[in-house]
């Protein structure tokens, strides 16, 4: 493959226009601008910043993108009428590279019931719209809305006419997500064969996901000659959404055997960051099994899969997480995980277990995995500490009382059993947990540094059990993990701290150096 033979597929991002039309996805002007800057960093070729005529906010967001965002072409949408096109042109004035995207419906059902116009009237409006847009910019895109339910002969006629009028990009929308990949590919191929002057324009895809075909249809279009893809981050958009940018880009990147000599200008290492930004600002949670950017996209649990991944990553991963900006894959331990994955995780946590200890720990792991969806590192530490290498409980928490509230100083009293001795102390703190920890320090005479503290629910409902995990550090820098479970999170916190102190004391007594690495 020579450099000259490589063709670029332009990425036209419409997250800020079509994506924002998702119900509940309204973005503020500042949020749209933040996303636009990230899209520029991602390397998209065209940003459709908005539909200026639709509202003052849309106009202002488009104007600011045109003024402040450098790199991509800034595009504005306009219906095929003078008022829309004039608003788009004004909003784009400050852009160093600008495009007006004008559209009109061409399917029989749209022309008859929505526009109430005849085909010859629609053709005339399309040509006039393109000519008007050319007064503001040489870069004009035309879309025959609902193209995939339009009559092909009429598409040939109207597209030939708008090319003659000055359109430089022809976008072919599957507006209602109706067609299947083979059909869409054939439409693109027939347009290339039958539209007069087609060699002077770029063919673009714009596919909706009503039947779950948006990405597949877009790629079928590329295979048949389209060299621009209109898409959105995370596939957001009207109804079931649009073609997902990250899926399009990574499909072309990964399947070079299928998309020979094709490339995009996307910095794939920015994909995950961009996906997360859009999710946060729109409030749309990314489904765990979403391709490329979902939480589980690079997660493995099945024993067979994990075993393969540990031996050679390519056995079950067709791309690396680093490609999209992640640090690495996530091996999820659960009921389907095998012994190999469990032992490997134990090693990562710093435990060097004997064969007998592995057998005991693995059986306990399987028992726990039957009760929990996912096993965390803290669970493994607890299994090994509680079941395999149980430590002597030097200190036992017998009594805890905490008083706190608005306008009062949090105070805690504890009673701790140490063999035959009873230890008591009371202390104040910044909060109830801090007060309890200070009382425990005073009672035991042990004052390790608290490295980390976390709480999570173990069960559901108002009487849910809360599990607290703490990590402490002694004066020599050694770290110890403690856990506590209770329906009262303050009690769970105190139990976890005492548990960690017990592990520290046991290690100091027996001189053990085997301990987990940082796991939180």
User: Confidence band (pLDDT; 50, 70, 90) for 517?
Assistant: very low
Q: Give a yes or no: residue 287 inside a domain.
A: no
User: What are the pLDDT digits (tens) for 232-247?
Assistant: 999 999 899 999 999 9
**Residues 266, 190 within the same domain:** yes
Q: Give a yes or no: residue 292 inside a domain.
A: no
Say what percent of the chain tops pLDDT 90.
Answer: 61
User: What are the pLDDT digits (tens) for 336-375?
Assistant: 667 777 777 777 665 777 888 888 888 877 877 776 666 6
Q: What's the whole-number mean pLDDT along residues 431-447? A: 95
Q: Give a yes or no: residue 430 inside a domain.
A: yes
pLDDT at 331: 52
Domain limit, last residue, from 388, 408, 425: 388
Residue 513: partners with Cβ closer than 8 Å, 6 or more residues away:
none
Query: What distance in Å separates the CA atoms of residue 68 and residue 254, rounded to the nearest whole number?
Result: 33
**Residues 84, 170 within the same domain:** yes
Question: Reduced to 3 states, what is the DSSP secondary structure of residue 140?
Answer: strand
pLDDT at 235: 96
Prediction pTM value: 0.67
Secondary structure of 475-505 in HEC code, one letter for each residue: CCCCEEEEEEEECCHHHHHHHHHHHHHHHHH
Question: Reduced to 3 states, what is the DSSP secondary structure of residue 468?
Answer: strand
Q: Give a yes or no: residue 250 inside a domain.
A: yes
User: Confidence band (pLDDT; 50, 70, 90) for 335?
Assistant: low
HSE toward the beta carbon, residue 281, CA cutoff 13 A: 25
Mean pLDDT of the chain: 86
Cβ(166)–Cβ(126) under 8 Å? no
Q: Give a yes or no: residue 515 inside a domain.
A: no
User: Confidence band (pLDDT; 50, 70, 90) for 378?
Assistant: low
* String of DSSP letters for 37-53: HHHHHHT-SEEEEE-GG
User: Confidence band (pLDDT; 50, 70, 90) for 334?
Assistant: low
**How far is the CA of 216 from the CAs of 27, 219, 221, 224, in angstroms?**
28, 5, 9, 12
**Residues 371, 439 within the same domain:** no
In 148-257, the DSSP E strands lie at 169-174, 202-207, 228-231
pLDDT at residue 299 is higher than 70 = no
**Residues 13, 54 within the same domain:** yes
Give the range with max mean pLDDT: 278-287, 294-303, 414-423, 509-518. Answer: 414-423
Higher pLDDT, 455 or 423: 423
**Residues 70, 40 within the same domain:** yes
**Residues 359, 487 within the same domain:** no
pLDDT at residue 309 is higher than 50 = no
Category of 408 on φ-ψ map: left (φ > 0), alpha (ψ -120 to 50) or beta: beta
Task: State the residue for tokens 């909706």.
Answer: 208
**Structural domains of the chain, count:** 3
User: Confidence band (pLDDT; 50, 70, 90) for 285?
Assistant: confident
Q: Give a yes or no: residue 518 inside a domain.
A: no
**Residues 321, 216 within the same domain:** no
- What CATH number should be reported for the domain holding residue 418? 3.30.160.270
User: Confidence band (pLDDT; 50, 70, 90) for 170?
Assistant: very high
Q: Give a yes or no: residue 289 inside a domain.
A: no
Domain limit, last residue, from 365, 388, 411: 388
Question: Which segment of 102-116, 417-431, 477-491 scores lowest on mean pLDDT?
Answer: 477-491
**Residues 225, 308 within the same domain:** no
**Residues 140, 232 within the same domain:** yes
**Residues 310, 274 within the same domain:** no
pLDDT at 325: 77
**Residues 163, 66 within the same domain:** yes
Q: Give a yes or no: residue 288 inside a domain.
A: no
Task: Provide the residue range defining the domain that includes 278.
Answer: 7-282
**Residues 52, 187 within the same domain:** yes
Domain limit, last residue, from 336, 359, 388: 388
- What CATH number should be reported for the domain holding residue 57? 3.20.20.70
Give the residue from 515, 510, 512 showing the smallest Cα distance to 472: 515
């Amino acid at each position: 493959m020579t450099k000259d033979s490589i063709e670029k597929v332009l990425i036209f991002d419409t997250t800020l226009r079509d994506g924002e039309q998702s119900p509940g996805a309204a973005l503020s002007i500042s949020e749209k601008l933040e996303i636009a800057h990230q899209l520029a960093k991602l390397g998209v070729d065209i940003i459709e910043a908005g539909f200026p005529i639709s509202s003052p906010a849309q106009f202002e967001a488009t104007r600011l993108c045109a003024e402040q965002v450098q790199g991509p072409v800034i595009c504005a949408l306009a219906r095929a009428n003078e008022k829309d096109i004039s608003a788009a042109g004004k909003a784009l004035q400050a852009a160093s590279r600008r495009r007006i995207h004008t559209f009109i419906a061409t399917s029989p059902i749209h022309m008859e019931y929505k526009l109430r116009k005849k085909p010859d009237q629609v053709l005339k409006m399309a040509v006039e719209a393109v000519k008007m847009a050319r007064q503001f910019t040489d870069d004009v895109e035309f879309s025959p809305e609902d193209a995939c339910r339009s009559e092909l002969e009429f598409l040939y006629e109207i597209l030939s006419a708008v090319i003659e009028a000055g359109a430089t990009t022809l976008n072919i929308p599957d507006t209602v997500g109706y067609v299947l990949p083979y059909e869409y590919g054939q439409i693109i191929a027939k347009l290339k064969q039958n539209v007069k002057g087609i060699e002077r324009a770029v063919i673009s895809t714009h596919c909706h996901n009503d039947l779950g075909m948006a990405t597949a249809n877009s790629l079928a279009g590329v295979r048949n000659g389209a060299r621009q893809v209109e898409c959105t981050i995370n596939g957001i958009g009207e109804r079931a959404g649009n073609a997902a940018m990250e899926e399009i880009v990574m499909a072309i990147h990964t399947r070079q055997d299928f998309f020979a000599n094709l490339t995009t200008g996307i910095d794939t290492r920015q994909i995950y960051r961009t996906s997360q930004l859009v999710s946060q600002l729109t409030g749309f949670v990314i489904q765990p099994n979403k391709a490329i950017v979902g939480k589980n996209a690079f997660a493995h649990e099945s024993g067979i899969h994990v075993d393969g991944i540990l031996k050679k990553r390519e056995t079950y991963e067709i791309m690396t997480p680093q490609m999209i900006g992640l640090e690495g894959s996530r091996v999820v331990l659960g009921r389907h995980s095998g012994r190999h994955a469990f032992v490997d995780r134990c090693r990562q946590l710093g435990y060097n277990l004997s064969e007998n200890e592995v057998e005991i720990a693995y059986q306990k792991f399987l028992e726990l995995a039957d009760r929990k969806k996912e096993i965390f590192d803290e669970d493994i530490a607890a299994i090994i500490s509680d079941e395999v290498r149980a430590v002597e409980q030097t200190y036992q928490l017998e009594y805890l009382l905490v008083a706190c509230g608005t306008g009062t100083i949090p105070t805690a009293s504890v009673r701790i059993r140490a063999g035959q001795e009873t230890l008591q102390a009371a202390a104040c703190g910044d909060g109830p947990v801090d007060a309890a920890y200070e009382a425990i320090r005073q009672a035991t005479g042990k004052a390790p540094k608290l490295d980390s503290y976390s709480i999570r629910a173990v069960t559901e409902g108002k009487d849910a059990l809360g599990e607290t995990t703490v990590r402490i550090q002694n004066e020599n820098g050694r770290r110890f993990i403690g856990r506590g479970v209770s329906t009262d999170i303050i009690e769970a916190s105190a139990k976890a701290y005492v548990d960690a102190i017990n592990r520290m004391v046991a290690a100091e007594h027996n001189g053990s150096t085997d301990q987990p690495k940082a796991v939180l």
